[in-house]
Chain A
């Protein structure tokens, strides 16, 4: 068990509101990732982090920002949520030497009305 906790697990909110999702790991792995999973699109990378305050964009980063002020926490923020951001969001970490994500959290189901 890689000790990944995502919160909240479910959230319903309205268009235009800010939303922050949290990913917490119990160890000190360097690489952390945020993915979204949508029918017909599979899993796509939003942002990733390779250390405290070190982040980079993924394939679908528009409308999202991230922060990592502590090794164990990686936050994903939707500044002004839109209906197209309704999705299931997964956090992942790499426990390998290198950056391949291997362990995933149980996901956050986000609905934007």
Chain B
């Protein structure tokens, strides 16, 4: 059974810092990996989707990498801002089902 782990569970940084969120998964037989953002009381917003054949994806200040063989992904956030405060979730798709990690709760302080 696929298991997805996110470290750290919570992170607090001052505004302007670059930061890295980590995601690991136990079964490398995946189609893709997604990073989502969830604000309190809201649904999930897809940030980046990396297909299994890709190594990384970039969108603005966000960069996600995927190392399928080692079962790891990282989400890099450059020049963090208070508006980046949210819970970040990674999820792997092994066919008709996303398996989610527990999330990293990020607080960016002004």
Question: Which residue of chain A lies nearest to B92 when distances are taken between CB atoms in the complex?
Answer: A100
Residue picked from A40, A56, A90, A98, most chain B C-beta under 10 Å: A98
Establish whether residues A90 and B102, one from each chain, have CB atoms under 8 Å apart when the complex forms: no
Can you name 6 A-B pairs with beta carbons within 8 Å?
Answer: A40-B102, A42-B101, A48-B96, A50-B96, A56-B96, A106-B42
CA distance in complex: A99, B101 (Å): 19
Establish whether residues B98 and A100, one from each chain, have CB atoms under 8 Å apart when the complex forms: yes
Contacts of A104 in B (CB 8 A): 36, 43-45
Establish whether residues B32 and A42, one from each chain, have CB atoms under 8 Å apart when the complex forms: no
Contacts of A101 in B (CB 8 A): 98
A58-B100 contact in complex given A90-B44, A100-B34, C-beta closer than 8 Å = no
Q: Residues on B close to A: CB < 8 A? A: 31-32, 34, 36, 41-46, 49, 89, 91, 93, 95-98, 100-103
Main secondary structure of the interface of B (DSSP, over half): strand
Q: Give the distance to chain B from A21, nearest Cβ to Cβ, in Å.
A: 14
Contacts of B41 in A (CB 8 A): 106-107
Indicate with 1 or 0, residue by residue over A55-67, a CB within 8 angstroms of chain B CB atoms: 0101100000000
Q: Residues on A close to B: CB < 8 A? A: 4, 40, 42-45, 48, 50, 56, 58-59, 90, 92, 96, 98-107
A-B pairs with the 6 shortest C-beta distances?
A104-B43, A104-B44, A43-B100, A42-B100, A106-B43, A100-B93
Contacts of B34 in A (CB 8 A): 100, 102
Establish whether residues B97 and A90, one from each chain, have CB atoms under 8 Å apart when the complex forms: no
Contacts of B91 in A (CB 8 A): 43
Q: Give the distance to chain A from B92, nearest Cβ to Cβ, in Å.
A: 10
A100-B49 contact in complex given A42-B100, A42-B103, A48-B96, C-beta closer than 8 Å = yes
